[in-house]
Amino acid sequence: MKECPRIVVGGTASGTGKTSVTLGIVAALKKQGLVVQTFKVGPDFLDPTYLAMASGRPCYNLDGWMMGRDHVERTVARTCEDADIAVIEGVMGLFDGAKPGSLEGSTAEIALWLDAPVLLVVNTHGMAQSIAAVVKGFALFEPRLNLAGVIVNRSGSDSHGSFLKSSLKAAMLPGVVAVVPRGGLPELTSRHLGLVTANPKVITARTIDELADAMSRYGDLVAIVNTARSAPGLNIRPETRKHLKERVCLGVAFDDAFHFYYQDFFDALSDNGCAITRFSPLADSNVPHDADALYFGGGYPEVMAETLAANEPMRAAVRTFAASNRPIYAECGGLMYLCSGLEETDGTFRPMAGLIPATTKMYEKRQSLAYVEVTLKADSLWGHRGDTVRGHEFHYSRLTSDPAGKDGWESVYRMKKRASGETDEGYRKGKVLASYAHLHLPPHDRALAHFIKSCEGDK
């Protein structure tokens, strides 16, 4: 691939402000006329929507555990072909990953694979010379990592910022490329883990401008760009893309209730001859007339439950589509929608599409946050018995009963979680498949081909 200047923005922990800082850097560089390609480490669906708004380009996830090194590298090479700089936002703390004693799934792993210099965001509220101890620990923990600079966040004053800079200089540690005062960046709305999904009602163009102006004021953009340009060339095998002729059309539920999707999944489907058309279970009265299959991703169906329940024409259309023996795939929020109903935290019951003979119940506490590995117990939309794919779970609801064994429904997943062992999941009847797992399928060419063939039906 061509030279690709790149930086990783990591943090000492969650909550350091690295998302706001990264957004400010991206927006500021874009205002300077650079084409900025953004990435988000980990399985997160929310931060990428903000990064895409700030850059004006789709943002891509990079997850070492789910995707593997080859797919991470090829994704970066493909999407950076026409970019001037790549900015990669980390997840949690720099070394936090899938398991103790390993960099697997961490921001550091991605930085090492991509040979990318790291800018470390440190929340310095209530901190003085201790910043040197913190940064030294991060710099020495993994000697192969290039910790190239520090972003001081939430400093108390100009003199505080100067003290922090001097402390790092005296300890002969990486220098400061930005000092952001407390309150120097506009606040971003939070929900559950991380942020709400970006849209013009949540984050306006003015907010993006404010973030850009703040990082231009408090940061040294020249130093940041030069740090990115110091990254060596990457020896990545060029990707041969297929661009097959369109054979099928996938109707994708996309609105305020359903919007958790991986961009590289849509790219891979498109390359393999699958057209994508969006529809809204909230606002539309029917599914797309030309759809060969439907996909209901995750999102916030619990927030929009009243509106979803009130749209009986759409719920009936989904049932009719399923009866036509065309594929329907649903993940997490999509599973909730395909069930007979949803019980809110206050006990209010909302009828849903009525395909799966079970209901879901919302809880105040999170019910699952975990990487998962799924092995197919039987042939399904994504492959054959014995095939394995990785993904993750993140949800506040639970099924109130097991639909397997009821009215022809069966479980076709054997799901392994790191913390809680193995369970049977993945509910199928005919060509309907639903699960709480968000699978990452783009690295699996056979799975994509199998799904598209399933969509073709008798064509």
CB distance 289 to 317 below 8 Å: no
Alpha-carbon distances of 303 from 1, 257, 378, rounded to whole Å:
44, 7, 34
Q: Which of 351, 375, 373, 347 minimizes the C-alpha distance to 361? A: 347
- Give the orientation angle of helix 205-218 with respect to helix 47-55, to 10 degrees: 80
Please report, for the chain, how many H helices and E strands are present, in that order: 14, 23
| Strand 421-429 with 410-417, pairing | antiparallel
> How many residues are recorded in the chain?
459
Strands (E), 237-383: 248-253, 258-260, 274-279, 293-296, 298-299, 328-331, 339-343, 349-351, 356-362, 368-376
What CA–CA distance (Å, rounded) separates 135 from 143?
13
89-92: Cβ within 8 A, 24+ apart:
89/9, 89/18, 89/19, 89/22, 89/38, 89/39, 89/40, 89/41, 89/47, 89/51, 90/8, 90/9, 90/10, 90/11, 90/18, 90/41, 91/40, 91/41, 91/42, 91/44, 92/11, 92/13, 92/14, 92/42
249 is catalytic: no
What is the Cα–Cα distance from 121 to 118, expressed in whole angstroms?
Answer: 10
CA 359 to CA 288: how far, in whole Å? 26
What residues are paired with 180 via a beta bridge? 153
Q: How far apart are alpha carbons 357 and 196 in whole angstroms?
A: 30
Q: Which two tokens stand for residue 134?
A: 């913190």
Given 59, 80, 332, 455, the catalytic residue: 332
Distance CA 1, CA 313 (A): 50
**Catalytic machinery residues:** 332
